[in-house]
Amino acid sequence: MNGKTKNHHKKKKKRKHQPGLAPGTPVYTGDETPQRTVITLHSYDSETFNSIKIKDAEALPALIAQPGVHWIEITGFSDTSLIEQVGEHFLLHSLTIEDILDVLQNPKFEIYENYLVLFLRRVTSGTIFNEFKSSQVCLILGPNYVISFQEKSSHIYDTVKRRLRLPKSRLRLAEVDFLFYSLLDVEVDNYFTGIDIVSEEIEHMEAESFTQPQETTLRNIHCIRQQLPLLKRSVRPLQYIANELRHERISLIRPELHIYFRDLYDHIRQIIESVEIFRDQQTGIMEIYLSNINNQMNKIMQFLTIIGTIFLPLTMVTGVYGMNFRFMPELEWRYGYYMVLTFMTAIAIGMLALFKKKNWI
Amino acid sequence: MNGKTKNHHKKKKKRKHQPGLAPGTPVYTGDETPQRTVITLHSYDSETFNSIKIKDAEALPALIAQPGVHWIEITGFSDTSLIEQVGEHFLLHSLTIEDILDVLQNPKFEIYENYLVLFLRRVTSGTIFNEFKSSQVCLILGPNYVISFQEKSSHIYDTVKRRLRLPKSRLRLAEVDFLFYSLLDVEVDNYFTGIDIVSEEIEHMEAESFTQPQETTLRNIHCIRQQLPLLKRSVRPLQYIANELRHERISLIRPELHIYFRDLYDHIRQIIESVEIFRDQQTGIMEIYLSNINNQMNKIMQFLTIIGTIFLPLTMVTGVYGMNFRFMPELEWRYGYYMVLTFMTAIAIGMLALFKKKNWI
Amino acid sequence: MNGKTKNHHKKKKKRKHQPGLAPGTPVYTGDETPQRTVITLHSYDSETFNSIKIKDAEALPALIAQPGVHWIEITGFSDTSLIEQVGEHFLLHSLTIEDILDVLQNPKFEIYENYLVLFLRRVTSGTIFNEFKSSQVCLILGPNYVISFQEKSSHIYDTVKRRLRLPKSRLRLAEVDFLFYSLLDVEVDNYFTGIDIVSEEIEHMEAESFTQPQETTLRNIHCIRQQLPLLKRSVRPLQYIANELRHERISLIRPELHIYFRDLYDHIRQIIESVEIFRDQQTGIMEIYLSNINNQMNKIMQFLTIIGTIFLPLTMVTGVYGMNFRFMPELEWRYGYYMVLTFMTAIAIGMLALFKKKNWI
Amino acid sequence: MNGKTKNHHKKKKKRKHQPGLAPGTPVYTGDETPQRTVITLHSYDSETFNSIKIKDAEALPALIAQPGVHWIEITGFSDTSLIEQVGEHFLLHSLTIEDILDVLQNPKFEIYENYLVLFLRRVTSGTIFNEFKSSQVCLILGPNYVISFQEKSSHIYDTVKRRLRLPKSRLRLAEVDFLFYSLLDVEVDNYFTGIDIVSEEIEHMEAESFTQPQETTLRNIHCIRQQLPLLKRSVRPLQYIANELRHERISLIRPELHIYFRDLYDHIRQIIESVEIFRDQQTGIMEIYLSNINNQMNKIMQFLTIIGTIFLPLTMVTGVYGMNFRFMPELEWRYGYYMVLTFMTAIAIGMLALFKKKNWI
Amino acid sequence: MNGKTKNHHKKKKKRKHQPGLAPGTPVYTGDETPQRTVITLHSYDSETFNSIKIKDAEALPALIAQPGVHWIEITGFSDTSLIEQVGEHFLLHSLTIEDILDVLQNPKFEIYENYLVLFLRRVTSGTIFNEFKSSQVCLILGPNYVISFQEKSSHIYDTVKRRLRLPKSRLRLAEVDFLFYSLLDVEVDNYFTGIDIVSEEIEHMEAESFTQPQETTLRNIHCIRQQLPLLKRSVRPLQYIANELRHERISLIRPELHIYFRDLYDHIRQIIESVEIFRDQQTGIMEIYLSNINNQMNKIMQFLTIIGTIFLPLTMVTGVYGMNFRFMPELEWRYGYYMVLTFMTAIAIGMLALFKKKNWI
């Protein structure tokens, strides 16, 4: 059911922390068949926009040295040595490279001398009951470049690319930090999609708990309960990150952009609040479910007990006329038998009417 | 039931975060048929008071340049381009204009160079079970003007206008920051109305849970549970805002007014405390409800079981005299049958009396 | 039941926040028939002590100008205009006067230029189940005077007055800030009385829950649950106030008195801790109650089921000998009937003994 | 059961806060028959060690003026005037003396100009179910003396005295602040004893809840629940105190000793964590208990219902052959009766076997 | 079951805090038969690497005085006097030595003038239900040496030693603080192993609770509940420690290493989050278990009641034809008996079908 998420959880520990590895040794910790590494360089200024595929990391330094803003988009981690080469060319710290390849990082944000790096988890697909998958994204902001590492290719950045192609768009006119902000913004927007899916599933659960609680409902509620902390864990650190970005004196981000990161911070807070409300809703649904399942069971027992209660006096009546007393006048009556049957029917109907009136049936 | 609120919740995400939109692009995210945009300019000083309808945003700068305090009251967001024009004339940041039209903001407060802006949610109508609607209000304080953006027109500001018409009222004599405070004050007072309605509904729930718990009660309790976080979410940020307003050195607000914002802060705290107490009450009512529903069910089962328990010995007695032993002296007795019937009646009455005495029936 | 408290709660909102009232307009918000306003001036120094009734606020400034410490004791708010006059003579801020008359304030503490003002709630009477009433008290400390506003007259200040009448008491020798402290001290001591009453009621509840849980018990437990937040709300802010008084550099309070306010702070902490423990106890009692009520019900069902279980085999036995087989030797036995009766009695006694031994009855 | 503790709680409020008493009036608030006041003066330096009983407080100043470290050990508060005299000779603040005699203080720590004072509660005896008693201890550190006030004499300080008698012990060589630390250290160690007792009782509870939950178990669990906050209340402030002692610049404590107070802080944290874990364990045991009591009850009902279910078909069979149809071939059979009896036995055994197999019995 | 852990807990208090011991007296508080003390000195620089066994602490100072990095690895605490000698040679504070031997320390971190010391607990083996054992590790960082004290020998440090043997490894080229970090890193990695085991057990529990809840399940869930706080207690302080290491100006750790300790901090946070999620999962499993156990029981009762309900009308029918009326036509019918039997079978089948359709069986 939620096997994938659990495996993810377990792999994290299993692979990463192999005894015997020196810290800072990069090891890819993701899927067994990683996506093929593709490097695309988008270079632009207010006049021009160019996208080229890069095969050889050696070429990068020369290309980056040119004026304009450069966005190195890297997807797929099959070729770890290529990624390490990129890292070396941009003077990334060995721990940064290690973290990029260890695709099970919690979101975090670190400032180095010549660049800042931001890790986040992208919710890629799936419902909360099944295959709630996330992939790792790493954004690095340097003096005149952004490097994005995506574990898995996605259409998420298409909107940014579209805007980049428009000659007079704000993005084309702005500096590299605005590109960094724009990429982060589409990542945050992408969370809302995940939140919406979960929200719908929870509403579905809720309706089900009210109207037709079943045993699978319990399993599903429990499943949400188990998934929510994982979701929270992948969202919560973002708040702290956005807060740092909007406040701190970071030389790579101009003060004019602080207001944009403040906006981002508000969006992230909305996401986190939604996740917190989910938790609460889940508890509420659990209560409703248990209360309804219990009621259902009690209703059945009550119904059965009522049936039993109706037959008991009838049986007693038959017992009375089954007694062997010598002198029992009714037994001699011509229509005694029919009278008794009528009497018994009357008792049954009377009791049914009574229970109906008391709203017990 | 609480469909509207949920739609509101969902729309928020769905509309706002359309991939492909550059940040800062204003899009109206409210009802499908927005109210017609109406702009009214109230200008006053201690001597004069004038209200005029404004059709064309071009006229505003000249009018505002005149001495006195100016209040631009804008209701309805049908004409987004007109609102954008107003924003441009007052040099509002593009993110501010975007937020004004994205009518699903959480309350927030931001200081820009030439103005400060405050977003809040106005509880417009409805009970907590049904159509708990809120609309967005945005107040902007500039050097000599206040701009109020209301998604939906309302009578809330009538009291302020009435006081503005009185020649010697404190409002007429005071500066523009006192107008800003007064508008905020009526908005906060308006929350108390919402709180009162919820409070009455919760008391009603409580009485119902004690006296006649029904299945709809559970649904209603759950409904309160789901709504409260939304209410809290629309109130809680206000505390932080009022705190900032009463403490911070904001050039647009004179220190003399700090004491008024302190008072406002106290009122907001009362509102928040009430909402927190609601939550608690809701949990209490849930407990009561579950306990009572359970008791009710158990009482019925107990009653039925008692009925059963009374008939069992009677049936056994009839069984005894239904046995076919050759030598059973009672069977030969003249009044044996009547004696047994009397005996059975005595057993039944005795048991009923016993159970009555034990307070089981 | 707790109707009064609820009305109190509701009135708060209803009256205070009448739309159309400018902020700072004093309105009395208490009982419909307020106590008659009485002003008493106590003036003293180490040599003399004088108490006089004041009818006319005009006289106050001249009296206060004289050397010595002055305590203006005001009870009852029937004459709001008199109170407003007093306020004006002492240069109180209009918001302070408004708050004095709006007798539903939460405790708060404010420092103005020429005076400091402290609002608190005095628990006047009643149990937690019934009429948990509180009235408002406001203490104002000026350079050489204390003004106390009491919504309702009380004997609480009698001990202070008694000590004031003793020529060599510490109070007579001390400055005005010690009078302020002494009044606050008796107010805090008064809370302990309320705490004691609640404490006894909770213990009573607890005993009842253990020994004879009834349906009214649930109602009472719930009642405590609802009242505690209100009690907490009227106590909690005191801690913050006492903390400020003992630490902050307040020009009107000499550093020598800080140690007394520290002592007061300790007492207030004790009160708050007691209230917090009450909450906890209430939850515990609820659990006990539910567990016991449930046990009681189950015991009854168990007893009834046991009765049923005893009669079932007996009925079967009678059924056996009620069969019409031609060849049933027992039926022909001379004492068959008596043997069967004996057998049945033996079964019944055996089962009863068994259930008794198993401790089920 | 826990009557003593409750009385303790109540006395606290009742006695202390007698209206009419000026603050700072010392009143003994402990047992009705306080222990006889005994004052012992221990004076020592690296060379000598002397213990003498002091009858008259007048003698103290002269004795203390001599070189060396002085420990005035005072036990029993029967002679309040003697204690007041001691206080006056050492220039203790009147609030300090009042607090020493008001033996229901929560732990606290105060710094005065010439001394520092520390109050703590010593758990003296008893289990958590019964007579969880604590007595007050007050330690005062002056420039060259420590005064210890113990409400009740105890053997706790014997180990300190023993070490004092050893000529070359660290204690004898150190300054007065090390004596102060050593006394505090034995007090903290004494808490561990109390913690151990509670720990064992809770483990006993736990075993009982699993194996043989009884009605008294519930009472005992509840009793722990009520006592824990009191225990916590007497321990929690110690953490804050130890933290101050290890960090703050207190002139009476040399920086060399900070590391010892840091150690003490660690021990106190362990105690507090244990108390917090107790709370958790108590909740766990409650759950177990309720679950087990419920299971027990359900098992009985299930057993009884099974008995009933076995007899029902048997009774029906006897009913069948008790019918009076003229043509019922079985009735005429020679061994019909025995066959039916066999058949019934087979049914009963079959059902028992089935239920056994299903693990229902 | 969890006896060992409990004993551990108890021993802690029992042994450590023997009254009569001066603080700073080293006493070994671990197992009754401690491991034999073995001291190994690893000395290395970029050129050479040497490991020698040390028998005599006297030799150490001379060896350490030589250039290069020195790692004194000490395992087993049988020879406390040898350990005390080592402590004295390295000028360790007497409290440090006491803490090393008192092997029940919570993790802590202390900075002394000439060294810093870090205590942590190493999870050595065992599941959470059984023998959740931990042993104490103490790491001391001096100017050119690290001393590691391990209560029990382990293979954990083998990977560090292997890397030390590689001539060009980062470890060999780095300073002593990198060795300190590396040892800490393998200790933290070791926690992940423990976390994995617990994680698997909890998943196993969860599956069991869903599919076949048994009484031992409850015991196991409770066992987890009791163990988790202990686990948390041994992990939580690490976060604070890592935070200090990465931020604080500690002269013994070069700023270049801060980024490594930041990485460590992230790992520790992951561990702590896992433990927190465990707690949550445990509560969830408990709910599931109770709900399922309850359902199971109710299902059985429902089944039994259904059986009863089916036989009641049948018995009544037999009762009807067991009545002794003179005029009962059916009794005279040739196939009356068979018709009644058929009718009864039809009733039984009909009821079974109905209950089946209603999904009650």
CA separation for the pair A122, D26 (Å, rounded): 68
Which residues of chain D neighbour E95 with C-beta distances below 8 Å? 259-260, 263
Q: Number of B to C CB contacts under 8 A, please give it.
A: 136
pLDDT digits (tens, 9 = 90+) for A228-274: 877 777 788 888 888 888 776 778 888 888 888 888 888 888 888 88
Inter-chain contact A322–E324, Cβ cutoff 8 Å?
yes
pLDDT for position A12? 40
Please check whether residues A167 and A132 belong to one and the same domain.
Answer: yes
CA separation for the pair D294, D300 (Å, rounded): 10
Q: Does D113 touch chain C (CB under 8 A)?
A: no
Q: Which two tokens stand for residue C311?
A: 């009669």
C96, C307, C312, C338, best to mutate vs chain B, most B CBs in 10 Å: C307
Which residues of chain C neighbour D308 with C-beta distances below 8 Å? 305, 308-309, 312
Question: Which chain E residue lies closest to A335 (C-alpha atoms)?
Answer: E327
Is residue B212's pLDDT more than 90?
no
CA separation for the pair E75, E94 (Å, rounded): 20
Q: Into how many domains does chain B fold?
A: 2
Which residues of chain A neighbour E185 with C-beta distances below 8 Å? 23
Inter-chain contact C17–B298, Cβ cutoff 8 Å?
no
Q: Number of C to D CB contacts under 8 A, please give it.
A: 137
CA separation for the pair D267, D273 (Å, rounded): 10
**CA of D257 to nearest chain C CA: how many angstroms apart?**
27
pLDDT for position B313? 92
Which residues of chain B neighbour A360 with C-beta distances below 8 Å? 300
CATH classification at residue B287: 3.30.460.20
E157, E325, E333, best to mutate vs chain A, most A CBs in 10 Å: E325
Q: Does E270 touch chain A (CB under 8 A)?
A: yes
Question: Which chain D residue lies closest to C276 (C-alpha atoms)?
Answer: D229
Q: Does D284 touch chain C (CB under 8 A)?
A: no
Q: Which residue range(s) make up the domain with C71? A: 3-292
Using the structure block, give the residue that is written with the tokens 């043509």: D327
D154, D203, D324, D354, best to mutate vs chain E, most E CBs in 10 Å: D324
CA nearest neighbour of B144 among B90, B222, B95 = B90
**CA of E307 to nearest chain D CA: how many angstroms apart?**
7
Whether the Cβ atoms of residue B96 and residue B111 lie closer than 8 Å to each other: no
CA separation for the pair D249, D258 (Å, rounded): 10
Please check whether residues E224 and E321 belong to one and the same domain.
Answer: no
Chains that touch A (3 or more CB pairs under 8 A): B, E
Burial class (CB in 10 A: 0-12, 13-18, 19+), D359: exposed
Please check whether residues D180 and D213 belong to one and the same domain.
Answer: yes
Using the structure block, give the residue that is written with the tokens 């009162």: B196
CA separation for the pair A297, C163 (Å, rounded): 70
pLDDT for position B6? 38
Q: Could you say which residues from 21 to 80 on chain E have a Cβ atom under 8 Å away from some Cβ of chain A?
A: none
Burial class (CB in 10 A: 0-12, 13-18, 19+), C303: middle
Q: What is the CA radius of gyration of chain C?
A: 34
pLDDT for position C338? 92
Please check whether residues E167 and E252 belong to one and the same domain.
Answer: yes
pLDDT for position C16? 44
Question: Which chain A residue lies closest to E284 (C-alpha atoms)?
Answer: A222
Using the structure block, give the residue that is written with the tokens 């907001």: B268
Is residue B12's pLDDT more than 50?
no
DSSP label of A118: E
Q: Does E295 touch chain A (CB under 8 A)?
A: yes
Please check whether residues C331 and C242 belong to one and the same domain.
Answer: no
Helix or strand or coil: residue A144?
A: coil
Chains that touch C (3 or more CB pairs under 8 A): B, D
Q: CB count, 10 Å around CB of D156?
A: 18
Report the length, in residues, of chain A: 361
Q: Number of A to E CB contacts under 8 A, please give it.
A: 140
**CA of B301 to nearest chain C CA: how many angstroms apart?**
8
Per residue of chain D (361 residues), give pLDDT as tens. 333 333 334 334 344 445 455 665 677 777 777 888 999 999 998 889 999 998 888 888 888 888 999 999 999 988 888 999 999 889 898 888 888 888 877 888 888 888 999 999 888 765 555 556 788 899 999 999 999 999 888 888 998 999 899 888 888 888 999 999 999 999 988 888 778 888 888 888 888 888 888 778 888 888 877 778 777 777 888 888 888 887 767 788 888 888 888 888 888 888 888 888 888 888 888 888 888 888 888 889 999 999 989 999 999 999 999 999 988 888 888 889 999 999 999 999 999 999 999 888 7
Whether the Cβ atoms of residue A183 and residue A166 lie closer than 8 Å to each other: no
Please check whether residues E282 and E352 belong to one and the same domain.
Answer: no
- Work out whether strand E49-54 and strand E38-44 pair parallel, antiparallel, or are unpaired: antiparallel
Q: Could you say which residues from 208 to 267 on chain C have a Cβ atom under 8 Å away from some Cβ of chain D?
A: 210, 259-260, 262-263, 266-267
CA separation for the pair B90, B232 (Å, rounded): 33
Q: CB count, 10 Å around CB of E147?
A: 25
**Sheet containing B38-44, strands listed edge to edge, beginning at the edge strand earlier in sequence:** B49-54, B38-44, B69-75, B145-150, B133-141, B116-125, B108-111
- ipTM confidence score: 0.72
CA nearest neighbour of D54 among D70, D67, D41 = D41
CA separation for the pair A225, A282 (Å, rounded): 7
Inter-chain contact A203–B6, Cβ cutoff 8 Å?
yes
- Work out whether strand C38-44 and strand C49-54 pair parallel, antiparallel, or are unpaired: antiparallel
Burial class (CB in 10 A: 0-12, 13-18, 19+), A162: middle
Inter-chain contact E260–A304, Cβ cutoff 8 Å?
no
Please check whether residues B267 and B167 belong to one and the same domain.
Answer: yes
Half-sphere exposure of C82 (CA within 13 A, CB side): 17
Please check whether residues D326 and D229 belong to one and the same domain.
Answer: no
pLDDT for position C3? 36
Low-confidence residues of chain C: pLDDT under 50: 1-17, 19
Q: What is the mean pLDDT of chain A?
A: 83
DSSP label of D37: P
**CA of E327 to nearest chain A CA: how many angstroms apart?**
6
Is residue A178's pLDDT more than 70?
yes
Q: Which two tokens stand for residue A324?
A: 């062997």
pLDDT for position C349? 95
**CA of E297 to nearest chain A CA: how many angstroms apart?**
11
Inter-chain contact A326–B324, Cβ cutoff 8 Å?
no
CA separation for the pair D61, E219 (Å, rounded): 64
Please check whether residues A65 and A183 belong to one and the same domain.
Answer: yes
**Given D249, D265, D292, which residue is the final one in a domain?**
D292
Consecutive sets of 10 residues in chain E, 361 residues long: mean pLDDT of each?
A: 37 44 69 85 91 87 89 91 90 88 83 89 66 82 93 87 87 90 90 82 84 80 79 81 78 85 86 84 85 87 90 92 90 91 94 90 80
Q: Considering only the beta carbons, identify the residue of C276, C301, C316 that sits closest to D301.
A: C301
Q: Could you say which residues from 119 to 178 on chain B have a Cβ atom under 8 Å away from some Cβ of chain C?
A: 156, 158-159, 162-163, 169-171
CA separation for the pair A49, A68 (Å, rounded): 9
**CA of C285 to nearest chain D CA: how many angstroms apart?**
8
Which residues of chain A neighbour B229 with C-beta distances below 8 Å? 277, 280
Which residues of chain E neighbour A305 with C-beta distances below 8 Å? 305
**Given B238, B270, B292, which residue is the final one in a domain?**
B292
Inter-chain contact D218–C182, Cβ cutoff 8 Å?
no
CA nearest neighbour of C49 among C160, C183, C182 = C160
Inter-chain contact E328–D326, Cβ cutoff 8 Å?
no
Q: What is the CA radius of gyration of chain B?
A: 34
Which residues of chain A neighbour E171 with C-beta distances below 8 Å? 22
**Sheet containing D38-44, strands listed edge to edge, beginning at the edge strand earlier in sequence:** D49-54, D38-44, D69-75, D145-150, D133-141, D116-125, D108-111
Residues 6+ apart with CB under 8 A from C190: C122, C123, C156
Inter-chain contact C259–D95, Cβ cutoff 8 Å?
yes
- List the beta strands (DSSP E) in chain B: 38-44, 49-54, 69-75, 108-111, 116-125, 133-141, 145-150
Which residues of chain D neighbour C221 with C-beta distances below 8 Å? none
pLDDT digits (tens, 9 = 90+) for A345-357: 999 999 999 999 9
Whether the Cβ atoms of residue B6 and residue A203 lie closer than 8 Å to each other: yes
Please check whether residues A223 and A340 belong to one and the same domain.
Answer: no
Please check whether residues E115 and E56 belong to one and the same domain.
Answer: yes
Q: Does E110 touch chain D (CB under 8 A)?
A: yes
- Work out whether strand B145-150 and strand A145-150 pair parallel, antiparallel, or are unpaired: unpaired
pLDDT digits (tens, 9 = 90+) for D220-277: 888 877 778 777 777 888 888 888 887 767 788 888 888 888 888 888 888 888 888 8
CA separation for the pair B164, B46 (Å, rounded): 10
**Given C243, C258, C292, which residue is the final one in a domain?**
C292
A171, A263, A325, best to mutate vs chain B, most B CBs in 10 Å: A325
Inter-chain contact A260–B10, Cβ cutoff 8 Å?
no
Please check whether residues A150 and A211 belong to one and the same domain.
Answer: yes
Residues 6+ apart with CB under 8 A from E208: E214, E217
Q: Could you say which residues from 311 to 330 on chain A have a Cβ atom under 8 Å away from some Cβ of chain B?
A: 312-313, 315-316, 319-320, 322-328
Using the structure block, give the residue that is written with the tokens 């944009």: A260
Which residues of chain A neighbour B319 with C-beta distances below 8 Å? 319
CA separation for the pair A307, E316 (Å, rounded): 12
CA separation for the pair E181, E171 (Å, rounded): 10
Q: Considering only the beta carbons, identify the residue of E295, E298, E316 that sits closest to A311.
A: E316
Average pLDDT over residues B260-277: 85
Question: Which chain E residue lies closest to A10 (C-alpha atoms)?
Answer: E196
pLDDT for position A191? 85
DSSP tally for chain C: helices H, then strands E = 11, 7
Inter-chain contact E305–D301, Cβ cutoff 8 Å?
no
CATH classification at residue E320: 1.20.58.340
Secondary structure (DSSP) of D116-147: EEEEEEEEEE--SSS--EEEEEEEEE-SSEEE
CA separation for the pair B76, B149 (Å, rounded): 8
